[in-house]
Chain A
């Protein structure tokens, strides 16, 4: 079965740029999405179709997808961005999530 691999944790200082990677076989040939989930809350879609932002998502969130890796980049990271982030793709009509990355802003 298809797998997506994320680093368990990423740390960033306020105001700096955070990058979270998601790796999968030929992931660049698929669409990737990213979700943010804070404790006790439902997930929120922050990036879809590799690089598009839903309305209401700040411009500091951006995405890319090429080769075997999709990347979520948060520029000018704020304390409110501290959360778990999940990548997601489709494989043969089934949905695959990455294991999630805990972003710590310190």
Chain B
């Protein structure tokens, strides 16, 4: 079964750090680009970052640049998001999602999400 399972969310104070993980199974992880997408309370989906299968290409949303770092370990079938200098507005459910290599395919598999709460 194709599956993505996020972990690492929790309560953190403003200015703090958190590392999210996404464990992939049931497919050839290295063949897929991966994304982090978040859903803040009362807001819509917001793309956070993406990474190509070989980690050669990495992209961030402007509001995350310099604070968030995406990475992956294909040997461990895992995706990560290191979040630093967290702000209250980073409070959200964070999802990892895979993107098949075909252009325009979209994010066809999503994890269940992990909740990040930034509050003092």
Residues of chain A touching chain B, judged by Cβ–Cβ distance below 8 Å, are: 1, 30-33, 35, 37, 42-45, 47-50, 54, 84, 86, 88, 90, 93-100
Q: B residues engaging A (CB < 8 A)?
A: 35, 37, 39, 44-47, 50, 57, 59, 61-62, 95, 97, 102-108, 110-113
A10 to chain B, nearest CB (A): 15
From A42, A44, A50, give the contact of B104 (CB < 8 A).
Answer: A50
Chain A residue contacts of B113, Cβ below 8 A: 42
Main secondary structure of the interface of A (DSSP, over half): strand
Q: By the criterion CB–CB under 8 Å, are B110 and A97 in contact? A: no
Residue of A nearest to B39 (CB): A37
Q: How many A-B residue pairs have CB under 8 A?
A: 70
Q: Are B107 and A31 in contact (CB under 8 A)?
A: no
Complex CA–CA separation, A48 to B104 (angstroms)? 7
Q: A88: which of B95, B106, B111 is its contact (CB, 8 Å)?
A: B106
For the A-B complex with A31-B104, A35-B45, A98-B44 known, give 9 more contacts whose Cβ atoms are closer than 8 Å: A43-B37, A43-B97, A43-B110, A45-B106, A47-B106, A48-B104, A49-B102, A86-B44, A94-B47
Query: Is there an interface contact between B57 and A93, defined as CB atoms closer than 8 Å?
Result: yes
